[in-house]
């Protein structure tokens, strides 16, 4: 599980530049969250405007801190989407994106009259779609990848740029090693 997001600028020859993207984590006082933020980034996708959509697995099971699995929309300089008064970081589709363990995010560009769409895959196999604009749109469950016989352990997802199809990497019933 991650605790930071790194950016790498590939070099044609020689050593590539690696830097950390500065992100505000959650602020916790007396076991309560006073300001939310990315706790454990687990996956990332880039939207058409260059902003990031970062899946956050929050805290491990059994840790008594009320952080939720969610997806954050972060601009190119590390700024969160804000809401409320005073303005505070706001996850994507907080009320409708119900996740137990986010494992993958992917963004399909706008095509065929459909808006740019964020897809979020949970370990349970639930696949959600959030159309742009991500900050104000609701999530909808569009599929369940879990076979009736069990045996699903998704670990990654991307979009085929030619067809717009989602490609999911599944380990079957085995957890990652």
Look at residue 2 and tell me whether its pLDDT is greater than 60: no
Number of other residues whose CB lies within 10 A of the CB of residue 177: 4
Q: What angle do CA 168, 173, 176 make, to 5 degrees?
A: 70
Return the HEC string of the chain.
Answer: CCCCEEEEECCCCCCCEEEEECCCCCEEECCEEEECCCCCEEEEEECCCCCEEEEECCCCCCCCCCCCCEEEEECCCCCECEECCCCEECCCCCCCCCCCCEEEEEEECCECCECCEEEEEECCCEEEEEECCCCCCCCEEEEECCCCCCCCCEEEEEECCCCCCEEEEECCCCCCC
Q: pLDDT for 142-169, tens place per residue?
A: 999 877 666 788 889 999 988 999 999 9
Look at residue 1 and tell me whether its pLDDT is greater than 60: no
Token pair of 125, please? 């196999």
- Per the model's pLDDT, the better-predicted residue between 90 and 60 turns out to be 90
In three-state secondary structure terms, 151 is coil
Q: How confident is the model at residue 108 (pLDDT cuts 50, 70, 90)?
A: very high
Burial 24-38 (b: 16+ CB within 10 A, else e): ebbebeeeeeeebbb
pLDDT number for residue 177: 60
* Dist. CA 111–CA 41, nearest whole Å: 28
Q: pLDDT for 38-77, tens place per residue?
A: 888 999 999 999 999 999 998 877 888 888 899 999 988 7
């Amino acid at each position: 599980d991650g605790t930071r997001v790194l950016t790498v600028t590939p070099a044609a020859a020689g050593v590539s530049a690696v830097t950390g993207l500065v992100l505000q984590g959650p602020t916790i006082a007396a076991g309560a969250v006073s300001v939310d933020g990315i706790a454990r980034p687990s996956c990332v996708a880039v939207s058409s405007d260059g902003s990031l959509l970062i899946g956050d697995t929050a805290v491990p099971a059994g840790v008594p801190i009320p952080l939720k699995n969610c997806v954050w929309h972060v601009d190119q300089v590390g700024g969160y989407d804000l809401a409320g008064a005073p303005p505070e970081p706001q996850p994507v589709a907080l009320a409708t994106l119900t996740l137990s363990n986010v494992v993958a995010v992917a963004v399909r560009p706008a095509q065929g009259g459909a808006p740019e769409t964020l897809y979020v895959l949970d370990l349970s196999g639930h696949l959600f779609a959030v159309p742009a604009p991500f900050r104000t749109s609701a999530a909808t469950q569009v599929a369940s990848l879990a076979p009736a016989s069990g045996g699903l352990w998704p670990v990654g997802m991307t979009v085929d740029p030619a067809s717009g199809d989602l490609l999911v990497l599944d380990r079957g019933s085995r957890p990652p090693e």
